[in-house]
Amino acid sequence: MHRIPLYSRFPTEHFLNRELTLLAFQRRVLAQAADERVPLLERLRFLCIVSSNLDEFFEIRVAGLKEQMRAGAMTTSADGRSAQEVFNHVSVEAHDIIAEQYRLLYEVILPALAHEGIVFLRRTDLSSEQAEWIGDYFRREVMPVLTPIGLDPAHPFPRVLNKSLNFAVELDGQDAFGRDSGFAIVQAPRALPRVIRLPPTLAGVKYGFVFLSSVLHLHVDQLFEGMSVRGCYQFRVTRNSDLFLDEEEIKNLRLALQGELPQRHFGDAVRLEVADSCSDAMADFLLQQFNLGREDLYRTPGIVNLVRLMQVPDWVDRPELKYAPFTPGLPKALIKRYSIFDTLRAGDVLLHHPFQSFKPVLDFLQQAADDDKVVAIKITVYRTGMDSELMQALIRAAQKGKEVTAVVELMARFDEEANINWANRLEEVGAHVVFGVFGYKTHAKAAMVVRREEGRYRRYFHLGTGNYHPRTARLYTDFGLMSANEELGEDIDQVFKQLTGLGKVRALRHLWQAPFTLHANMLTAIRAETDIARAGGKSRIIAKMNSLLEPEIIEALYEASQAGVEIDLIVRGVCALRPGLPGLSDKIRVRSIVGRFLEHARIFYFWSNGAENLYLSSADWMERNFFRRIELCFPILDERLKKRVLREGLRLYLNDNAQCWTMDAQGHYSRRVTRGARHGAQDALLADLAENRADMAIAKTQQS
C-alpha cells in the first residue's frame, strides 16, 4: 500500500522542511552539552550523541537527497524545495553545527575536564617519559596490526569502511623498489581502541588519555622506513547505509538481507571528514577517490570521530560529574504478588520507563516460560539487542515445548544482523519465526501469553510504546500496559493471526491498527474535536510523539485550530507543522523536551465531551507509520491509569520550564523562559517513581 505523497494537495507554506527540522533537533541536543547545569561528563556524552545522530543523518537522509539529485528527480519536499535546494541548506547548517560542536569540545568541555583532573594529552605537550611510554605502546600494540598501503598502479586506493578511522600520508623519497608515488593510506583496525588511558603516575593525573590518532601521528614514520613523512592526516568517510531490496525479485527475505548487509560498509560516499591540517592537495585527492564535491568536505580540528569519546564517562569514576544514579521503581501491584498472572487478573498494570523498571516485562515472559499452565507465547521483535534476557526466555519456553511465535522485523535499521541471529536461534529450538508482511515493517510492540486456567484459555499481554530492549528501557521514556482484558486480548490475537497467516482485515474492538484504521481514526478523533469547537463546546487535543510530518494530520490540526480547539503538541524531533500562524494555527503550541532521557512515548489525548479518550501507540504521525508499517494504538481503559498517563506523560511536560524548547512559526526553537523555581518533567518523575525517590528528590532540588 505505497501511496503518492499527499502534501502536493496542500499549500507548501503550511509545512516546514523535514531535514532542516531534524538538524534543529541536533542543535537542541548540542545545547545540552553547552548547559553548565548539566553534569560535566554528561555534557561530553551529549556531544558524542550529536556526532552519532549526525552520522545516521548523513547515512540515511543526506544519502537519500543525493540519490534524488543523481536521478534528476523532479519531486519537491512538502515545503516546496527541490532535493538540490534542501541539500544546499542542509550542507550549510550541518557545517555550522559541526563547527560549534568542536568549538564546545576544545574551548569549553576539554578545559573543564582538565580542571577536574581528566586530561586528554596533546602530542605536542608530552613529557619525555610520556612520549617513551606511547612509543612503546605503538610498537607493542599498534604497529603489529597496521597495514600501510602505498598507492601505485599495483596498489590502488583501498576500499574504506563506512565511518572507519584512516590516515592519508604524504611522503618524499623512494622505497626499496624505487617507487616514489608520494601517497600512502593507513587504515586503523576497528579492534584498536581510539582512546588510550595512560598510567596515573605517568599522566600526572588520575585520568589521563591520549587519542590513537596522536599515537599514530607520532610514529607514522616507522611505517615507511627510509622515507620522509611530509604530512599525515586523519580522514573518515560516511557512506549510504540504507538497504535496498527489490520485493519483486526476493524469494527469501532473510537470505537476501544477509547478502545485502555486508555492502552497507561500502555504500556510496556522502561525506568526507578530514583533519583541518590536511593539505588542499590531499583533500582534493580524497574527494576525487570518493566521488564527492567540496560541499561534502568537513574539516575538523583534531579527531574526526567524536562518537569514540562516548565510553569515557563510563571509564571515569567521578559520580559528582554525572547524573545521580537511580533504581527504577515498581508499581505497588507488582510488589505485593510474586505471580504476575495473579496480579493481572486483579487489574491492569502501567509501567513508565525508565522511571519504573523494565523487569516486570522480563518477569512476564520468564514466568510464562516456566509456568506449566502456559501453552503459547507470541511476540513482535523490532529491537532487542545482541544479548537479551527476553529472547533467552523465549528460547527456554520453546525448549520446554510451549508454542512460541516470534514476529521478527528483519528490516529494523542497524539491528538487522542481531534480529537475523535471534531468528536463527529461535528456529533451532522449534519456535515459529515469521517476518511479518513484506513491504511493511512490523513496528508494533506486543507480547501475548496464552494460559490454560479452569478448563479454558486466558490471554495475558503487554503493549508498549517502546522496544523490548532492556538497555533502551533505561534511556528512553516509554509506557507499557500489562493486562488480561479479554476484549483487548482478542484484538491482539487477531493482529498476530494477520501477521502469521492470511486473511481479510477483521474489525478490532479497541485497537487502532496501521496500515488499516490508525490514520482514519486519528483524523476522525481530531475532526470530532473540531466539530465540538464549532458548536461552541469545550475541546482539547494534547499529543506527544517523536515526529510530526503526515500532511493530512497537519491540515486537520490547522482546521481544528481555526475552529478554536486548544492544541498542545509535544514533539521531540522532526515537526513539519507551523504553530502560531495567524488565522491558521493560532491555537497550536509546539514544544520539545530534551533532557537526560530520550523522549520516546507516543500519547494522544482528546477531550471528547469529557470522556477524555487517551491512547498510547508505537506510531508517530508520519506517512511511513500510518501507511508502510504495522503499528498499534491502544486505549487506556482503566480510569486510574488514564489519570496517571495524563499527569505523568502530558501535564508534567506541559509545565516543564527546565528542559522545554518552544517552536515558532518559522521552525526556530528557543528555551522556555524560567520564572521562579525550575520544574523538569523528567526530574519530577524520577522523584515520584524511582525506588530511591527520596535521593532523586534531593538531587532534583540541588540541580534547581
Cell digits of residue 92: 550549510
614 forms beta bridges with: 605
Of 218, 178, 174, give the one whose Cα is nearest residue 196. 218
User: Looking at the DSSP assignment, which residues form a beta bridge with residue 169?
Assistant: 184, 232
Residue 129: its pLDDT value, please?
Answer: 95
Same topology, domains 6-321 and 332-507? Answer is no
Q: Is the pLDDT of residue 3 over 70?
A: no
Mean confidence (pLDDT) of the chain: 90
Name the percent of the chain lying above pLDDT 90: 75
- At the second CATH level, the architecture of 6-321 is 2-Layer Sandwich (3.30)
Q: Which of the residues are catalytic?
A: 443
Which of 222 and 256 is assigned the larger pLDDT?
222
Tell me the average pLDDT across 314-320.
Answer: 96
Q: What local confidence, expressed as pLDDT, does residue 605 receive?
A: 98
Residue 552 pLDDT level (bands cut at 50, 70, 90): very high
Kindly list the distances between the CA atom of residue 704 and the CA atoms of 38, 549, 657, in Å, as whole numbers in the listed order.
Answer: 11, 35, 11
Band (pLDDT 50/70/90 cuts) for residue 264 is low
Q: Pick from 264-268, 275-279, 382-386 the range whose average pLDDT is largest.
A: 275-279
- Label residue 249 by pLDDT band (50, 70, 90): very low
CA pair distance 438, 254, nearest whole angstrom: 11
Report yes or no: 486 and 457 within 8 Å, Cβ to Cβ. Answer: no
Let me know if domain 332-507 sits in CATH 3.30.870.10: yes
Reply yes or no on whether the pLDDT at 293 is more than 60.
yes
Q: What is the pLDDT of residues 633-652, one digit of tens each?
A: 999 999 999 999 999 999 99
Assess whether pLDDT exceeds 60 at residue 248: no
Average pLDDT, integer, range 283-287: 95
Q: What is the pLDDT of residues 458-501, one digit of tens each?
A: 999 999 999 999 889 999 999 999 999 999 999 999 999 999 88
* Stretch among 37-51, 235-249, 366-380 having the lowest mean pLDDT: 235-249
Residue 244's pLDDT band (cuts 50, 70, 90):
low
The burial of 235, by beta-carbon neighbours within 10 Å (0-12 exposed, 13-18 middle, 19 or more buried), is given as: buried
Confidence class for position 2, pLDDT limits 50, 70, 90: very low
What are the distances in angstroms from CA 648 to CA 296, 315, 403?
43, 33, 37
Report, as an integer, the average pLDDT of 365-391: 91
- For cell 558524542, name the residue: 48
Q: CA–CA separation, 48 vs 51, rounded Å?
A: 5
pLDDT of residue 226: 80
The string of pLDDT tens digits covering residues 581-605 is 999 999 999 999 999 999 999 999 9
pLDDT single digits (tens) 419-440: 778 888 888 999 998 887 878 9
Write down the pTM of the prediction.
0.93
Checking if the pLDDT of 676 tops 60, the result is yes
Q: At 679, list the grid cell.
A: 520544574
| pLDDT for residue 250 | 46
* Eight-state DSSP code of residue 225: T
Better-predicted residue by pLDDT, 259 or 220: 220
Helix, strand, or coil here: 205?
Answer: coil
Average pLDDT over residues 292-296: 96
* CATH architecture for the domain at 513-703: 2-Layer Sandwich (3.30)
pLDDT band at 617 (very low <50, low <70, confident <90, very high): very high
Q: Within 10 A of 483 (CB to CB), how many other CB atoms are there? A: 24
Structural domain spans, the chain: 6-321, 332-507, 513-703
Band (91; pLDDT cuts 50, 70, 90): very high
Is the pLDDT assigned to residue 1 strictly greater than 60? no
Instruction: Compute and round to an integer the Cα radius of gyration of the chain.
Output: 27
Report the pLDDT averaged over residues 512-540. 97
What is the distance between the alpha carbons of residues 524 and 239, in angstroms, rounded to a whole number?
42
Question: If you average pLDDT over each of 137-151, 155-169, 174-188, 581-595, which comes out highest?
Answer: 581-595
Q: How far apart are CA 525 and CA 560, in angstroms?
A: 11
Give the tens place of pLDDT for each residue, 647-675: 999 999 999 999 999 999 999 999 987 77
- Say what the pLDDT of residue 265 is: 62
Contact yes or no for 533/560 (Cβ under 8 A):
yes
